[in-house]
Amino acid sequence: MKTFGMIMGLMLALAAPAAQAQEAVSSTYLRTAIFVADRAATVKFFRDVMGYAELSTNDLPPATANDPLGLPEGAKRTLTGMMSKDGAGLSIMGIVHPDFKTLARAAGGANSAGDVMLVHEVKGIKEIEARARAGGYEVIRAAIPSPSGKSLQMFLRDPNGVRLELYEMLPAQK
């Protein structure tokens, strides 16, 4: 019994630094931020297609030299905050400056290294698809059963080329 107690004490002593290290670092995901050249078009997409609410729009002071976001000096910045019905946050930063360049993206729905995909669980996926098509947005793949068969899944791009994966759980799978 004494040996068991010594082993347990040693295990607790070894585990304590790991537990303390884990407590010293933590992360809470707050929102996604998108830097765009056409803020109004992006806001329209997330409002009219994805159902986000526009919370506020603020003109920010122009970017200064050595801007912490890496923006060109003098860039005009306008920030719009948006929120989904379930509370997911989206910040859309419109940047106006001749040196602010759009990312090169692969054609035909392909991804490139460094691409980002925003994944949403949705309700009314067919309605979202219809809104996207009516708005002239790129629907990469229509809403069809996912490989698992548990949901309908579709892919589309926002006006900046950011890929979105949408899925809607099928009733029997919830």
Q: What is the pLDDT of residues 98-111, one digit of tens each?
A: 999 888 877 777 77
Beta bridge partners of residue 79, listed in sequence order: 58, 93
Cα dihedral: 107, 109, 114, 120 (round 10) = 150
Q: Can you tell me the distance from the alpha carbon of 171 to that of 162, in angstroms, rounded to the nearest whole number?
A: 29
Four-way CATH pick for 112-174: 3.40.50.300, 3.30.720.110, 3.30.450.20, 3.40.50.1950: 3.30.720.110
Looking at the chain, which residues constitute the CATH 3.10.180.10 domain(s)? 29-99
Place of tokens 């940047």: 95
Q: Which helix (H) or strand (E) holds 153?
A: strand 151-157
Q: What is the pLDDT of residues 116-170, one digit of tens each?
A: 899 999 999 999 999 999 999 999 999 999 989 999 999 999 998 889 999 999 9
Q: Can you tell me the distance from the alpha carbon of 115 to that of 96, in angstroms, rounded to the nearest whole number?
A: 22
Quote the pTM value. 0.79
The topology under which CATH files domain 29-99 is 2,3-Dihydroxybiphenyl 1,2-Dioxygenase; domain 1 (3.10.180)
